Amino acid sequence: MKTLRLPFDNAQGRRSGRSPKVCILRADGTNCDVELFYAFKKAGGDPEYVNVNQLRDKSKSMQDFQILALPGGFAYGDDIASGKIWAVELVSFFKDELEKFHKKDGIIVGICNGFQVLIRTGLLPFGNIGKMDATLLPNNSGHFECRWVRVRDEKSKRIFWMSINHGEGKFFANNETIKAIETKGLVIFRYIDNPNGSINDIAGVTDPTGRVIGLMPHPEKFMDLTQYPNWRRDKITKPHGSFIFEEMIKYAKENL
C-alpha cells in the first residue's frame, strides 16, 4: 500500500493521463455536493454524483472510482448524532466494499458531515470500520456556526483560510487515543483560531495510510478567489482550497 503524500505544497503542474474518477456520494440531506463536484472537476478530476441507494441496489459500484468523496450536509438530518445514521448505513452494507476500496489504494475523503460520517464508521482515525475511536461533539458554543477560520497544514506549516459550517465539530477522544493520533502524525490540519473547542485544535485527520482524509473546514468552498469574503482586500493569488484537491488528483493520476 502506498501512502498519500500530504503536505499540499508540491502540487504543481498536472501529470498527463486520464482524469481520476471521483464518486461524490450522496444521501438524504447531503448539501455540499455541488461545490465538491465543482472542486474536483476544477482540480482535474472526473466527478460523478452517486446516491447511496444506487450502491445499495448495485446499479453503481464504488470500485469503479479512484476517489470516494463524502460531502458536507446533514445526512438524514444528523439525527441522533451528526453523520450517525449514514455511518450505520455504510457500516451495515458496505464494510467489505470500503475495505476493498481502501486496499486497492483508493482515496476516501470526507468534508464536514462527510468527516463526521468517516469518524463514526471508524474509518478515521485508525481504519477500524465498525469501531469508533474518536468523535465529533457539539461545538463549545452549543450551536451551528458559519465563519471563516485559519487552518494550518501540519506538514507544510502553510496557513489556509477555510469556511467552517457546522454545529458538531469538536474533535474529541480519550487521552490515549489523542496521544496515539499525535505520535502517529495523523493530524493534518489544525485551527489557528479554534472555533469549536477541538482537542489540540484538531481540524482534520488522516488514517495511517494517508488515504483516508477527513476535515471539518470546507476547502471545496474556496476554489475561486471570489468565494473568500475578503477577496477584495486581501492579496491572494491562488484559492486556498485548490491545493488539497490538486494533490488528491495528482496522487490518483500517478498511482491508481
Provide the annotated active-site residues: 112, 218, 220
**Which of the residues 219 through 238 are near another protein (CB under 8 A)?**
220-221, 223-224, 226-227, 229-230, 232-233
Smallest distance from another protein to CB 153, Å: 21
Q: For residue 48, give the nearest of 58, 29, 34 by alpha carbon.
A: 34
Among 2, 18, 64, 146, binds another protein (CB under 8 A): 146
CA distance 110 to 81: 16
Residue closer to another protein, measured from CB, 4 or 215: 215
CA distance 177 to 212: 17
Among 54, 156, 200, 209, binds another protein (CB under 8 A): 54
Angle at 45 between CA 39 and CA 49, to 5 degrees: 75
Cell 476493498 -> residue? 100
CB 18 within 8 A of CB 218: no
Cell 489504494 -> residue? 105
173 binds another protein (CB under 8 A): yes
CA distance 194 to 174: 19
141 binds another protein (CB under 8 A): yes
Smallest distance from another protein to CB 140, Å: 11
Helix, strand or coil, per DSSP, at residue 69? strand
Contact pattern from residue 3 through residue 42 relative to another protein, giving x for each residue in contact according to CB under 8 A and a dash for the rest: -----------------------x-xxxxx-xx--x----
CA distance 152 to 196: 16
Contacts with another protein, residue ranges (CB under 8 A): 26, 28-32, 34-35, 38, 51, 53-54, 72-74, 76-81, 84-85, 88-89, 92-93, 120, 132-135, 137, 141, 143-148, 163, 165, 172-174, 218, 220-221, 223-224, 226-227, 229-230, 232-233
